[in-house]
Chains A and B, each alone.
Chain A
Amino acid sequence: MLFYVVIYDIPCDKRRRKVFNLLEGYGQWVQYSCFECVLSEKKFEELRRRLKKRVKLDEDSLRFYPLSKHTRGQVETWGVGPSVREFPGSVIV
Protein backbone atom coordinates (compact mmCIF):
# COMPACT_ATOMS: atom_id res chain seq x y z
CA MET A 1 0.00 0.00 0.00
CA LEU A 2 1.38 3.37 -0.96
CA PHE A 3 0.07 6.85 -0.56
CA TYR A 4 -0.03 8.78 -3.84
CA VAL A 5 -0.65 12.44 -4.49
CA VAL A 6 -2.01 12.87 -8.01
CA ILE A 7 -2.22 16.33 -9.54
CA TYR A 8 -3.30 17.32 -13.02
CA ASP A 9 -3.63 20.28 -15.28
CA ILE A 10 -6.09 19.67 -18.09
CA PRO A 11 -7.40 22.55 -20.21
CA CYS A 12 -10.24 20.63 -21.88
CA ASP A 13 -13.36 20.52 -19.67
CA LYS A 14 -14.59 17.21 -21.04
CA ARG A 15 -11.30 15.40 -20.50
CA ARG A 16 -10.84 16.96 -17.07
CA ARG A 17 -14.30 15.77 -16.06
CA LYS A 18 -13.45 12.24 -17.17
CA VAL A 19 -10.16 12.21 -15.30
CA PHE A 20 -11.90 13.56 -12.23
CA ASN A 21 -14.56 10.85 -12.33
CA LEU A 22 -11.98 8.13 -12.64
CA LEU A 23 -9.81 9.44 -9.83
CA GLU A 24 -12.83 9.71 -7.57
CA GLY A 25 -13.04 5.93 -7.66
CA TYR A 26 -9.49 5.49 -6.46
CA GLY A 27 -8.88 8.31 -4.03
CA GLN A 28 -10.06 11.37 -2.25
CA TRP A 29 -10.49 14.73 -3.87
CA VAL A 30 -8.61 17.24 -1.72
CA GLN A 31 -8.31 20.36 -3.88
CA TYR A 32 -9.09 21.48 -7.41
CA SER A 33 -7.08 19.06 -9.57
CA CYS A 34 -5.48 17.27 -6.66
CA PHE A 35 -6.27 13.78 -5.34
CA GLU A 36 -4.85 11.63 -2.55
CA CYS A 37 -4.99 7.87 -3.10
CA VAL A 38 -3.98 4.94 -0.92
CA LEU A 39 -3.44 2.10 -3.39
CA SER A 40 -1.78 -1.24 -3.77
CA GLU A 41 0.72 -1.52 -6.58
CA LYS A 42 -1.79 -3.48 -8.64
CA LYS A 43 -4.51 -0.88 -8.21
CA PHE A 44 -2.09 1.95 -9.01
CA GLU A 45 -1.10 0.14 -12.18
CA GLU A 46 -4.78 -0.20 -13.08
CA LEU A 47 -5.41 3.47 -12.39
CA ARG A 48 -2.55 4.55 -14.64
CA ARG A 49 -3.68 2.23 -17.40
CA ARG A 50 -7.19 3.63 -17.30
CA LEU A 51 -6.04 7.22 -16.99
CA LYS A 52 -3.84 6.94 -20.02
CA LYS A 53 -6.90 6.40 -22.18
CA ARG A 54 -8.56 9.58 -20.95
CA VAL A 55 -5.78 12.14 -21.44
CA LYS A 56 -3.93 13.76 -24.30
CA LEU A 57 -0.33 13.97 -23.25
CA ASP A 58 0.60 16.71 -25.72
CA GLU A 59 -1.85 19.09 -24.04
CA ASP A 60 -2.39 17.76 -20.50
CA SER A 61 -0.07 17.35 -17.57
CA LEU A 62 -0.35 14.78 -14.78
CA ARG A 63 1.96 14.10 -11.84
CA PHE A 64 2.04 11.18 -9.40
CA TYR A 65 3.97 11.54 -6.16
CA PRO A 66 4.32 8.41 -4.04
CA LEU A 67 4.96 9.09 -0.35
CA SER A 68 6.71 6.65 1.93
CA LYS A 69 5.16 5.84 5.30
CA HIS A 70 7.75 8.07 6.91
CA THR A 71 7.11 11.16 4.80
CA ARG A 72 3.40 10.58 4.94
CA GLY A 73 3.48 10.85 8.70
CA GLN A 74 5.02 14.28 8.33
CA VAL A 75 2.34 15.64 6.03
CA GLU A 76 0.84 18.88 7.31
CA THR A 77 -2.52 20.21 6.31
CA TRP A 78 -3.50 23.80 6.85
CA GLY A 79 -6.84 25.45 6.60
CA VAL A 80 -10.05 23.96 5.30
CA GLY A 81 -10.46 20.74 3.35
CA PRO A 82 -10.63 17.02 4.16
CA SER A 83 -8.12 15.30 6.43
CA VAL A 84 -5.29 13.20 5.00
CA ARG A 85 -6.57 10.06 3.33
CA GLU A 86 -6.52 6.86 5.39
CA PHE A 87 -6.71 3.33 4.08
CA PRO A 88 -10.35 2.85 3.07
CA GLY A 89 -12.08 0.14 5.09
CA SER A 90 -15.40 -1.63 4.77
CA VAL A 91 -18.61 0.37 4.77
CA ILE A 92 -21.69 -0.54 6.77
CA VAL A 93 -24.93 1.23 6.00
Chain B
Amino acid sequence: MQTLYVSQQGCYVSLNQELLVVKQGETVQAEVQLPLLEMVLVFGNSQITTQAIRACLWRNIPIAYVSRMGFCYGRILPIERGFRQLARYQQQLLAVERLQVARSIVQAKLRNSRVILQRQNRRRSSDTLSLAIQSLEYLIDKAGEADNTQRLMGFEGAGAAQYFSAFAECLEGNDFVFAGRSRRPPGNPVNAMLSFGYQILWNHLLSLIELQGLDPYSACLHEGSERHAALASDLIEEFRAPMIDSLVMYLVNRKMMDVLNDFEYKNGGCFLNNSGRKKFLKAFLRRMAEEIDTESGKQPKWDLLNQQVKLFKQFVYEPSRLYKPYLIR
Protein backbone atom coordinates (compact mmCIF):
# COMPACT_ATOMS: atom_id res chain seq x y z
CA MET B 1 0.00 0.00 0.00
CA GLN B 2 1.18 3.45 -0.64
CA THR B 3 2.34 6.34 1.49
CA LEU B 4 2.34 9.93 0.33
CA TYR B 5 5.42 11.90 1.37
CA VAL B 6 5.07 15.64 0.85
CA SER B 7 8.69 16.65 1.35
CA GLN B 8 8.84 19.69 -0.91
CA GLN B 9 7.93 23.02 0.60
CA GLY B 10 4.86 25.06 -0.22
CA CYS B 11 2.72 22.24 -1.55
CA TYR B 12 -1.04 22.36 -1.50
CA VAL B 13 -2.94 19.10 -1.14
CA SER B 14 -6.56 19.15 -2.20
CA LEU B 15 -9.32 16.66 -2.85
CA ASN B 16 -10.71 15.83 -6.26
CA GLN B 17 -13.24 13.01 -6.17
CA GLU B 18 -11.22 9.89 -5.37
CA LEU B 19 -7.87 11.57 -5.76
CA LEU B 20 -5.59 13.72 -3.64
CA VAL B 21 -4.03 16.34 -5.87
CA VAL B 22 -0.66 17.71 -4.75
CA LYS B 23 0.03 21.09 -6.29
CA GLN B 24 3.01 23.35 -6.00
CA GLY B 25 1.95 26.72 -7.30
CA GLU B 26 0.14 25.95 -10.52
CA THR B 27 1.94 22.70 -11.31
CA VAL B 28 0.40 19.41 -10.31
CA GLN B 29 3.16 17.39 -8.63
CA ALA B 30 1.19 14.23 -8.05
CA GLU B 31 -2.24 12.69 -8.05
CA VAL B 32 -2.65 10.01 -5.46
CA GLN B 33 -5.49 7.50 -5.38
CA LEU B 34 -7.29 7.77 -2.08
CA PRO B 35 -8.65 4.22 -1.90
CA LEU B 36 -5.11 2.82 -2.22
CA LEU B 37 -3.50 5.29 0.18
CA GLU B 38 -2.30 4.22 3.59
CA MET B 39 -0.90 7.36 5.15
CA VAL B 40 0.28 10.88 4.49
CA LEU B 41 3.45 12.45 5.84
CA VAL B 42 3.84 16.19 5.53
CA PHE B 43 7.40 17.50 5.97
CA GLY B 44 7.61 21.19 6.79
CA ASN B 45 5.36 23.82 5.30
CA SER B 46 2.63 22.40 3.11
CA GLN B 47 -1.12 22.82 3.30
CA ILE B 48 -3.90 20.27 3.22
CA THR B 49 -7.47 21.39 2.69
CA THR B 50 -10.15 20.49 5.18
CA GLN B 51 -11.95 18.52 2.50
CA ALA B 52 -8.86 16.42 1.92
CA ILE B 53 -8.34 15.91 5.65
CA ARG B 54 -11.95 14.84 6.06
CA ALA B 55 -11.69 12.40 3.17
CA CYS B 56 -8.60 10.88 4.81
CA LEU B 57 -10.33 10.62 8.18
CA TRP B 58 -13.27 8.81 6.61
CA ARG B 59 -10.93 6.26 5.18
CA ASN B 60 -8.79 5.77 8.26
CA ILE B 61 -5.78 7.34 6.60
CA PRO B 62 -3.61 9.06 9.22
CA ILE B 63 -1.83 12.32 8.43
CA ALA B 64 1.40 13.15 10.24
CA TYR B 65 2.99 16.56 10.44
CA VAL B 66 6.75 16.18 10.55
CA SER B 67 9.48 18.81 10.66
CA ARG B 68 12.10 18.85 7.94
CA MET B 69 14.45 17.24 10.43
CA GLY B 70 12.02 14.40 10.86
CA PHE B 71 10.52 15.38 14.21
CA CYS B 72 6.85 14.46 14.46
CA TYR B 73 4.75 17.37 15.78
CA GLY B 74 1.55 15.42 15.81
CA ARG B 75 -0.94 13.57 13.73
CA ILE B 76 -4.52 13.59 12.57
CA LEU B 77 -6.35 10.36 13.26
CA PRO B 78 -10.00 9.44 13.15
CA ILE B 79 -11.50 9.01 16.60
CA GLU B 80 -12.10 5.34 16.08
CA ARG B 81 -8.37 4.69 15.89
CA GLY B 82 -7.75 6.33 19.20
CA PHE B 83 -8.60 3.43 21.46
CA ARG B 84 -5.46 1.97 22.88
CA GLN B 85 -6.15 -1.74 23.00
CA LEU B 86 -2.89 -2.34 21.19
CA ALA B 87 -0.93 -0.45 23.83
CA ARG B 88 -2.53 -2.61 26.49
CA TYR B 89 -1.45 -5.79 24.71
CA GLN B 90 1.99 -4.28 24.48
CA GLN B 91 2.16 -3.89 28.23
CA GLN B 92 1.09 -7.49 28.68
CA LEU B 93 4.06 -8.84 26.74
CA LEU B 94 5.97 -11.30 28.87
CA ALA B 95 9.56 -10.72 29.95
CA VAL B 96 10.60 -13.84 28.04
CA GLU B 97 9.01 -12.64 24.84
CA ARG B 98 10.65 -9.25 25.24
CA LEU B 99 14.04 -10.79 25.84
CA GLN B 100 13.77 -13.05 22.83
CA VAL B 101 12.91 -10.12 20.61
CA ALA B 102 15.63 -7.96 22.18
CA ARG B 103 18.13 -10.71 21.36
CA SER B 104 17.10 -10.93 17.75
CA ILE B 105 17.22 -7.14 17.41
CA VAL B 106 20.79 -7.00 18.74
CA GLN B 107 21.78 -9.92 16.55
CA ALA B 108 20.27 -8.23 13.51
CA LYS B 109 22.11 -5.02 14.28
CA LEU B 110 25.44 -6.82 14.59
CA ARG B 111 24.72 -8.87 11.48
CA ASN B 112 23.90 -5.83 9.40
CA SER B 113 27.02 -4.05 10.65
CA ARG B 114 29.04 -7.10 9.69
CA VAL B 115 27.60 -7.17 6.18
CA ILE B 116 28.57 -3.53 5.67
CA LEU B 117 32.13 -4.32 6.76
CA GLN B 118 32.23 -7.45 4.60
CA ARG B 119 31.27 -5.42 1.56
CA GLN B 120 34.11 -3.00 2.27
CA ASN B 121 36.46 -5.88 2.89
CA ARG B 122 35.73 -7.29 -0.55
CA ARG B 123 36.61 -3.95 -2.09
CA ARG B 124 39.73 -3.28 -0.07
CA SER B 125 40.62 -5.92 2.46
CA SER B 126 42.58 -5.17 5.60
CA ASP B 127 43.48 -6.93 8.83
CA THR B 128 41.43 -4.55 10.97
CA LEU B 129 38.36 -5.29 8.91
CA SER B 130 38.80 -9.07 8.96
CA LEU B 131 39.38 -8.96 12.69
CA ALA B 132 36.27 -6.89 13.32
CA ILE B 133 34.21 -9.19 11.10
CA GLN B 134 35.42 -12.17 13.10
CA SER B 135 34.68 -10.65 16.46
CA LEU B 136 31.24 -9.53 15.28
CA GLU B 137 30.61 -13.14 14.27
CA TYR B 138 31.52 -14.23 17.79
CA LEU B 139 29.40 -11.54 19.42
CA ILE B 140 26.37 -12.48 17.31
CA ASP B 141 26.55 -15.98 18.76
CA LYS B 142 27.07 -14.64 22.24
CA ALA B 143 24.14 -12.26 21.94
CA GLY B 144 21.94 -15.20 21.04
CA GLU B 145 22.66 -16.75 24.41
CA ALA B 146 22.36 -13.64 26.59
CA ASP B 147 19.95 -14.23 29.45
CA ASN B 148 19.22 -10.66 30.41
CA THR B 149 19.13 -7.25 28.72
CA GLN B 150 22.17 -5.88 30.60
CA ARG B 151 24.41 -8.57 29.17
CA LEU B 152 22.79 -8.12 25.81
CA MET B 153 23.59 -4.41 25.91
CA GLY B 154 27.14 -5.38 26.85
CA PHE B 155 27.53 -7.49 23.72
CA GLU B 156 25.95 -4.76 21.67
CA GLY B 157 28.40 -2.19 23.04
CA ALA B 158 31.36 -4.47 22.40
CA GLY B 159 30.11 -5.04 18.86
CA ALA B 160 29.69 -1.33 18.25
CA ALA B 161 33.22 -0.61 19.47
CA GLN B 162 34.65 -3.25 17.12
CA TYR B 163 32.52 -2.06 14.28
CA PHE B 164 33.37 1.62 14.57
CA SER B 165 37.08 0.98 14.84
CA ALA B 166 36.82 -0.85 11.52
CA PHE B 167 34.46 1.78 10.12
CA ALA B 168 37.32 4.30 10.36
CA GLU B 169 39.30 2.13 7.94
CA CYS B 170 36.56 2.38 5.36
CA LEU B 171 36.76 6.15 5.09
CA GLU B 172 39.06 7.25 2.30
CA GLY B 173 41.01 10.49 1.98
CA ASN B 174 42.59 12.56 4.71
CA ASP B 175 39.90 15.19 5.21
CA PHE B 176 37.67 13.22 7.50
CA VAL B 177 39.28 11.88 10.64
CA PHE B 178 37.32 9.36 12.63
CA ALA B 179 38.80 7.78 15.71
CA GLY B 180 35.64 6.40 17.19
CA ARG B 181 32.06 7.20 17.87
CA SER B 182 31.39 10.30 19.97
CA ARG B 183 27.99 11.77 20.61
CA ARG B 184 26.20 14.32 22.71
CA PRO B 185 27.84 16.32 21.27
CA PRO B 186 29.44 14.70 18.23
CA GLY B 187 33.14 15.56 18.21
CA ASN B 188 33.98 15.66 14.52
CA PRO B 189 32.32 15.87 11.09
CA VAL B 190 31.85 12.12 10.65
CA ASN B 191 30.18 11.83 14.03
CA ALA B 192 28.10 14.90 13.22
CA MET B 193 26.76 13.17 10.11
CA LEU B 194 26.13 9.91 11.94
CA SER B 195 24.25 11.67 14.74
CA PHE B 196 22.14 13.73 12.36
CA GLY B 197 21.32 10.68 10.25
CA TYR B 198 20.31 8.57 13.24
CA GLN B 199 18.21 11.46 14.50
CA ILE B 200 16.16 11.72 11.32
CA LEU B 201 15.72 7.99 11.13
CA TRP B 202 14.73 7.77 14.79
CA ASN B 203 12.13 10.50 14.42
CA HIS B 204 10.74 8.91 11.33
CA LEU B 205 10.38 5.60 13.11
CA LEU B 206 8.68 7.34 16.00
CA SER B 207 6.13 8.88 13.63
CA LEU B 208 5.46 5.52 12.04
CA ILE B 209 5.07 3.89 15.45
CA GLU B 210 2.60 6.59 16.43
CA LEU B 211 0.71 6.16 13.18
CA GLN B 212 0.31 2.44 13.74
CA GLY B 213 -1.14 3.16 17.16
CA LEU B 214 1.66 1.42 19.04
CA ASP B 215 2.87 2.74 22.38
CA PRO B 216 6.35 4.09 21.69
CA TYR B 217 7.30 4.01 25.36
CA SER B 218 7.02 0.27 25.77
CA ALA B 219 9.85 -1.68 24.18
CA CYS B 220 11.96 -4.83 24.37
CA LEU B 221 15.62 -3.90 24.40
CA HIS B 222 15.75 -0.35 25.68
CA GLU B 223 14.34 0.78 28.96
CA GLY B 224 11.47 3.15 28.33
CA SER B 225 10.90 6.22 30.45
CA GLU B 226 8.37 8.98 30.30
CA ARG B 227 10.72 10.94 28.09
CA HIS B 228 12.41 8.20 26.12
CA ALA B 229 10.42 6.56 23.33
CA ALA B 230 12.26 3.28 23.69
CA LEU B 231 10.45 1.45 20.92
CA ALA B 232 11.91 3.81 18.31
CA SER B 233 15.33 3.12 19.79
CA ASP B 234 14.69 -0.61 19.51
CA LEU B 235 13.57 -0.54 15.92
CA ILE B 236 16.32 1.80 14.73
CA GLU B 237 19.08 -0.66 15.65
CA GLU B 238 18.68 -2.89 12.62
CA PHE B 239 18.68 0.11 10.27
CA ARG B 240 21.67 2.09 11.56
CA ALA B 241 24.37 0.40 9.51
CA PRO B 242 22.54 -0.19 6.23
CA MET B 243 20.79 3.18 6.06
CA ILE B 244 22.99 5.76 7.76
CA ASP B 245 26.52 4.39 8.16
CA SER B 246 26.71 3.31 4.55
CA LEU B 247 25.36 6.70 3.46
CA VAL B 248 28.03 8.52 5.48
CA MET B 249 30.67 6.26 3.99
CA TYR B 250 29.38 7.03 0.53
CA LEU B 251 29.32 10.79 1.13
CA VAL B 252 32.87 10.81 2.48
CA ASN B 253 34.39 8.48 -0.08
CA ARG B 254 32.76 10.22 -3.01
CA LYS B 255 34.02 13.52 -1.62
CA MET B 256 30.54 14.95 -1.61
CA MET B 257 30.89 16.72 1.71
CA ASP B 258 33.23 19.63 2.30
CA VAL B 259 34.97 19.33 5.64
CA LEU B 260 35.57 23.09 5.89
CA ASN B 261 32.31 24.56 4.63
CA ASP B 262 29.61 22.04 5.57
CA PHE B 263 30.18 21.92 9.33
CA GLU B 264 30.18 24.30 12.24
CA TYR B 265 31.65 24.02 15.71
CA LYS B 266 29.55 25.15 18.63
CA ASN B 267 28.65 24.09 22.17
CA GLY B 268 31.79 21.99 22.33
CA GLY B 269 30.79 19.79 19.41
CA CYS B 270 30.68 19.56 15.65
CA PHE B 271 27.43 19.89 13.72
CA LEU B 272 26.25 20.11 10.15
CA ASN B 273 25.54 23.69 9.11
CA ASN B 274 22.82 24.83 6.71
CA SER B 275 24.60 23.82 3.53
CA GLY B 276 25.80 20.55 5.05
CA ARG B 277 22.37 19.63 6.32
CA LYS B 278 20.87 20.30 2.92
CA LYS B 279 23.42 18.12 1.15
CA PHE B 280 23.01 15.33 3.65
CA LEU B 281 19.21 15.41 3.57
CA LYS B 282 19.17 15.45 -0.19
CA ALA B 283 21.41 12.40 -0.41
CA PHE B 284 19.44 10.69 2.34
CA LEU B 285 16.08 11.33 0.70
CA ARG B 286 17.41 10.21 -2.67
CA ARG B 287 18.65 7.00 -1.13
CA MET B 288 15.42 6.37 0.77
CA ALA B 289 13.44 6.91 -2.42
CA GLU B 290 15.41 4.22 -4.28
CA GLU B 291 13.14 1.40 -5.18
CA ILE B 292 13.81 -2.09 -3.99
CA ASP B 293 11.97 -5.38 -4.28
CA THR B 294 9.76 -6.15 -1.33
CA GLU B 295 6.96 -8.58 -0.68
CA SER B 296 4.44 -6.06 -1.96
CA GLY B 297 6.22 -5.29 -5.21
CA LYS B 298 8.69 -2.50 -5.90
CA GLN B 299 8.70 0.03 -3.08
CA PRO B 300 10.90 2.89 -2.00
CA LYS B 301 13.29 2.09 0.84
CA TRP B 302 11.13 4.19 3.15
CA ASP B 303 8.73 1.33 3.11
CA LEU B 304 11.15 -0.97 4.89
CA LEU B 305 10.70 1.14 8.02
CA ASN B 306 6.96 0.87 7.86
CA GLN B 307 7.18 -2.86 7.19
CA GLN B 308 9.19 -3.38 10.39
CA VAL B 309 6.81 -1.28 12.46
CA LYS B 310 3.94 -3.39 11.14
CA LEU B 311 5.83 -6.58 11.92
CA PHE B 312 6.25 -5.35 15.47
CA LYS B 313 2.54 -4.71 15.63
CA GLN B 314 1.91 -8.25 14.47
CA PHE B 315 4.22 -9.46 17.22
CA VAL B 316 2.18 -7.56 19.79
CA TYR B 317 -1.01 -9.18 18.57
CA GLU B 318 0.59 -12.60 18.32
CA PRO B 319 3.62 -12.70 20.63
CA SER B 320 4.29 -16.38 20.04
CA ARG B 321 5.33 -15.65 16.46
CA LEU B 322 8.00 -13.20 17.62
CA TYR B 323 9.39 -10.21 15.78
CA LYS B 324 11.62 -10.64 12.75
CA PRO B 325 14.11 -7.80 12.36
CA TYR B 326 15.32 -6.44 9.05
CA LEU B 327 18.40 -8.15 7.63
CA ILE B 328 20.36 -7.02 4.62
CA ARG B 329 21.93 -9.60 2.41
Contacts and interface: CB of A to CB of B under 8 A. Distances in A.
A71 interface: no
Nearest to A46: B35
Contacts of B19: 24-25
A43 B37 CA distance: 11
A12 interface: no
Contacts of B300: 89-90, 92
Contact of A25 (B24, B35, B285, B299): B35
A89 B30 CA distance: 13
Contacts of B298: 86-87, 89
A88 interface: yes
A49 to B, nearest CB: 12
Given A21-B17, A22-B18, A93-B6, 20 more contacts: A1-B297, A24-B17, A25-B17, A25-B34, A26-B33, A43-B35, A46-B35, A47-B35, A87-B296, A89-B2, A89-B300, A90-B302, A90-B303, A91-B3, A91-B4, A93-B4, A93-B5, A93-B7, A93-B24, A93-B29
14 contacts: A1-B296, A1-B297, A24-B19, A25-B36, A43-B35, A43-B36, A89-B303, A90-B3, A90-B299, A92-B285, A92-B300, A93-B24, A93-B29, A93-B30
Contacts of A87: 296-298
B63 interface: no
User: Looking at A1, A22, A88, A91, which has the most chain B CB atoms within 10 Å of its CB?
Assistant: A91
Nearest to A87: B297
Interface string A41-63: 00100110000000000000000
Interface in A5-38: 21-22, 24-26
- Range for the number of chain A residues in contact with chain B: 10 to 19
Interface in B277-311: 285, 289, 291, 296-300, 302-303
Interface residues of B, number: 30
B168 interface: no
Contacts of A91: 2-5, 22, 30, 32
A55 to B, nearest CB: 16
A43 B59 CA distance: 12
